[in-house]
Structure 1
Amino acid sequence: MSASNWPGLPKGIQSRTVSINDLEMHVLEASPPITGTSKLPLVILLHGFPELSYSWRKIIGPLSDAGYHVVVPDQRGYGRTKIVQSGSTTIKYEDDLSPYRMTNLVKDIVTLVYTLGYESVAAIVGHDFGSRVAAWCALIRPDLFKSVVLMSSTFAGPPKLSLGKAPTSPDFKKVVTEDLAVLTPPRKHYWFYYSTPEANAHMTNAPGGLQVFLREYYHLPHYYVMPLDATMPEAVHGFGPSTEEIQRNAWLTEEELIVYATEYARTGFQGGLNSAYRVNTSAAWSSELELFSGKQIDVPAMFLAGKQDWNTYKLPGAVEAMRGRACKNMEDFVLIDGAGHWVQQEQSDRVVEHLVRFLGKRQ
């Protein structure tokens, strides 16, 4: 199925491929008619894990109608974006991890902006893992990204320099491995499970099928702290919505869910696991970000999430660090009642309302 024919995608949204760096990057794009020679302000939307550009289907049209040129890529390792030099359509655990490091993901977006013919972006908006990429875009290139919206995932700032010491794994690694393992019952943290060689196969070959697994996963059960011996499909099984709840679900219909299941059946999850988790649980890849130690996001920022999303507070002190240190100018901190983690799909009208309000401050 052509991406432009995905169910729930409003008419007028274009699906195309842009050649950047070592990628054939797939993007969804919408823009109102242009009058005169001036370019419309550009807004880039970045999806999270395990998501796609399709996750913004309810946001693209309304933002375009509000006067913005909206571009939504499948990020590196996801969906219909292809690594052209890999020689394989399948991303393997054994592949070189360096293309998935954060500075390279930022370079992907910077290159996309210039390839589109722009020299500035009105706002870079990221959800979940995309929030982290958006934060780093704004921190590294404030001249290019004029504002930033972080959704459903906090940003506590760059890591501190390891003065006089070899780089170490994140401080919480001991807590989420050794300490969780001795609980009753024993547990493990999903970040480190997602960094194992087996995680991709566990999800791709979920016993009930990908559609059932993703329905349970998107219901956001208690999977951040998993049973020690469980796979992710085992951890989420039994926590999904009832048949009646699925039938009433307006933000993710079965027809829309099939899009995710079909795309991930084709690509697997390894690309997303590489960028969202593996490079963040290894000191070898996270240490280069110490180059930006002490640097703040200077551009106007907003945090936007579902009020019922525990992810906002899963890292103790992260909200305070984001609002008090990482973002110099956080204008808004918005929690939308009645929404969980997938807020841009669950409460799209409210998300559009806040995005347009935030963007309008700079026009």
Structure 2
Amino acid sequence: MASNLKDIPLPSNITSNTIQVNDLNVHYLHSSPSTLDPHAPLVLLLHGFPELAYSWRKIMGPLSEAGYNVVAPDQRGYGRTTMLGLSGPINYDGDLAPFRMFSLVTDIVMLVSALGFRSVAAVVGHDFGSIVAGYCALIRPDLFRSVVMMSAPFPGAPPFPNETVGPSAALIAKQLAELNPPRKHYTMYFSSPSANHDMLQVPEGLHSFLINHFYSKSADWPGNSHPLPPHPLPSASASDLATLPHYYIMPLDETMPMAVKNAAKEGTRSLQEWLSNEDLRFFVSEFSRTGFQGGLNWYRCMTEAKWTLNDMRIFTGKRITIPAMFLAGAMDWGVYQSPGVLNGMKERVCEKMDEGNVVLVPDAGHWVQQERPEAVVEHLRRFFKGVIQD
């Protein structure tokens, strides 16, 4: 690891490591049982945006103490994981192909092999990492023995074009722009050439943006509960989507920092109660160094026609056959931002997702494993106990 990198403020039972995987030098965090049993089951934790392996710091130790080898990588485009042959931050004009979903899943499969494991007891993904975890489970049930998807319900492989139901993304974008006041979807903004610069070069500073962004999606921001707490939307129409908070359905002419500005001043619980100043400084230092473009490229591969999930249609109609769990904060609008996907995941995508394994943690928002780590550990341990055989 380069000498100019700052020390990671980790608990003593978590180590920082690197390993070469395909075209990556993968940085990952590891917490092992006190017995240092190399045969202890592997639990793999996949972060989302704008997060890092560090986002799992509060639950890694407790899970390892329960008898698991726990590994959390900085995924492609994030943190201290670097692409071989690339010097400097990832830029907008670079090759998008490495950020396709098929590539992201391949990264994880190859990481497991490089670490010397033949199977993964559980793959756990949060936010965009939930989608990667879902595809890991869908594509390689022989390797991944159970899956936990957090905060973002997994929709399954995309339907064939003649089976698509509901308005297209292009039509929704047009309809949102025609609302009064006009709006735009955050995924389209994240796919734009300006998003990385907007979030990195905030007049008030990156520190200010990250405070407001993390706070706005937490259970502590009053805007997530007023006038109504998170609930299923009637449809994916522009008018229904526009009832979502501004960090999802943004004012047309605003940047993300503008959409969440002042959020941290509007709540009653301090951000420092679950994201300390030391934690925040680490997030700021990492994204100051790398920028956000690596993570934003994941969104571009989801929204741009050339790079959409078309290559995943080979799995259309295939279901997740391993035991599955969905876990999120009860105050997380991300659960419902894609109307119908939560029910579809339970009823059509996952064969083994019992009703008791669809859990919404009270008093938690989008960053559930950071806001309420004890509850997350409790639910994960319960799920693992029922599905993981040593």
State the secondary structure of the residue aligned to 2:109: helix
**Compared with structure 1, are the counterparts of its residues 3 and 70 closer, same or farther at alpha carbon in structure 2 (3 Å cutoff)?**
farther
Output aligned runs, 1:264-303, within 5 Å. 264-275=287-298, 277-285=299-307, 286-303=309-326
Distance 2:93 2:289 in 1: 19
| Unmatched segments (≥5 aa) in structure 2 | 218-244
Question: 1:12: how far off?
Answer: 2.2
Deviation string 1:33-58 (CA, Å, 9 cap, x unpaired) is 4477x611000000000000000010
Q: Does the 8 Å CA contact 1:4/1:14 hold for their aligned counterparts?
A: no
Q: Judging changes above 3 Å, is the alpha-carbon distance between structure 1 residues 205 and 66 closer, same or farther for their aligned structure 2 residues? A: same
Q: Which residue of 1 aligns with 2:170?
A: 174
Give the match for residue 198 of structure 2.
202
- Residue 334 in 1 paired to residue 334 in 2? no
1:177 CA displacement: 1.2
Q: Alpha-carbon deviation of 1:249? A: 3.1
SS in 2 for 1:257: helix
Number of residue pairs matched by the alignment: 354
Contact 1:161 / 1:291 at 8 angstroms: preserved in 2?
no
Give 2:16's aligned residue: 15
Deviation at residue 184 of structure 1 after TM alignment? 1.1
The verdict on how the C-alpha distance between 1:120 and 1:313 changes in structure 2, with shifts beyond 3 A counting, is same
In 2, Cα distance between the equivalents of 1:3 and 1:357? 37
Residue 176 (structure 1) shift: 3.2
1:236 is aligned to 260
Q: Deviations over 1:317-351 (max 9, x none)?
A: 11111000111111310000000000000000000
Provide closer, same or farther for how the CA distance between residues 264 and 149 of structure 1 changes in structure 2, counting only shifts above 3 A.
Answer: same
Measure how far apart 1:151 and its partner are.
Answer: 0.3
Structure 1 alignment gaps of length 5 or more: none
AA aligned opposite 1:113: V
Q: What's the TM-score, normalizing by structure 2?
A: 0.87
What corresponds to 2:56 in structure 1?
Answer: 56
Counterpart of 1:344? 369
Q: Give the counterpart letter for 2:75 in structure 1.
A: Q
* Counterpart contact for 1:34–1:40, Cα < 8 Å: no
> What secondary structure, in the 3-state scheme, does the structure 1 residue paired with 2:125 have?
strand
Cα distance between partner residues in 2 of 1:340 and 1:346:
7
Instruction: Percent identity, please.
Output: 52
Contact 1:4 1:15 in 2 (8 A): no
Secondary structure in structure 1 of the residue aligned to 2:289: helix
Asked if residue 224 in structure 1 is aligned to residue 262 in structure 2, the reply is no
Corresponding residue of 2:72: 72
Q: CA deviation at 1:156?
A: 1.4
| AA at the equivalent of 1:46 | L
Whether the 8 Å CA contact 1:128–1:151 is kept in 2: the answer is yes
Q: CA RMSD in A?
A: 2.0
1:183 CA displacement: 1.0
Match of 2:385 among 332, 336, 360: 360
What is the Cα deviation at residue 71 of structure 1?
0.5
The residue that corresponds to 1:41 in the other structure is: 41
Contact 2:324 2:350 (8 Å CA) reproduced: yes
Alignment of 1:183 with 2:205, yes or no, is no
Match runs of 1:57-206 below 5 Å: 57-86=57-86, 88-162=87-161, 171-206=167-202
Q: How far, CA to CA, are the matches of 1:23 and 1:261 in structure 2?
A: 23
Is the 2:368–2:376 contact (alpha carbons within 8 Å) kept by the matching residues of 1? yes
For the residues of structure 1 that align with 2:46 and 2:136, how far apart are their CA atoms? 11
SS of the residue corresponding to residue 249 of structure 1 reads: helix
How big is the shift at 1:289? Answer: 0.9
**What SS does structure 2 have at the residue aligned with 1:26?**
strand
2:4 & 2:92 partners in 1: Cα distance? 28
- SS of the aligned residue for 1:138 comes to helix
Look up the equivalent residue of 2:252 and give its one-letter code: L
Q: Once the two structures are superposed, what CA deviation does each residue of 1:129-158 show, in whole Å capped at 9, x if it has no partner?
A: 000000000000000000000000011111
Q: Whole-Å Cα distance in 2 between the matches of residues 35 and 118 of structure 1?
A: 15
Match of 2:8 among 2, 6, 9: 6
Deviation string for 1:184-239 (max 9, x for gaps)?
A: 11111100011011100000001111111000000125310101000111111122
Q: Is the 8 A contact 2:34 2:65 kept in 1?
A: no
Structure 1 residues 305 and 3: alpha-carbon distance in aligned structure 2, compared to 1, 3 A threshold: farther
Change (3 A) 1:300 1:242: same
User: CA, structure 1 residues 229+35, in 2 after alignment: closer, same or farther (shift >3 Å)?
Assistant: closer
1:352 maps to a residue whose letter is V
Distance 1:171 1:111, change over 3 A: farther
Measure how far apart 1:255 and its partner are.
1.7
Structure 2 CA distance, aligned partners of 1:77 and 1:54? 15
Q: How does the TM-score come out when normalised to structure 1?
A: 0.93
Matched residues in 1 for 2:113 and 2:282: separation? 30
Summarize deviations over 1:103-149 as a string: whole Å, max 9, x none.
Answer: 11001000010111111000000000000000000000000000000
Query: Is 2:275 the partner of 1:252?
Result: yes
1:1-50 deviation per Cα after TM superposition (whole angstroms, max 9, x unaligned): 9989433x2112110101001000000001014477x6110000000000
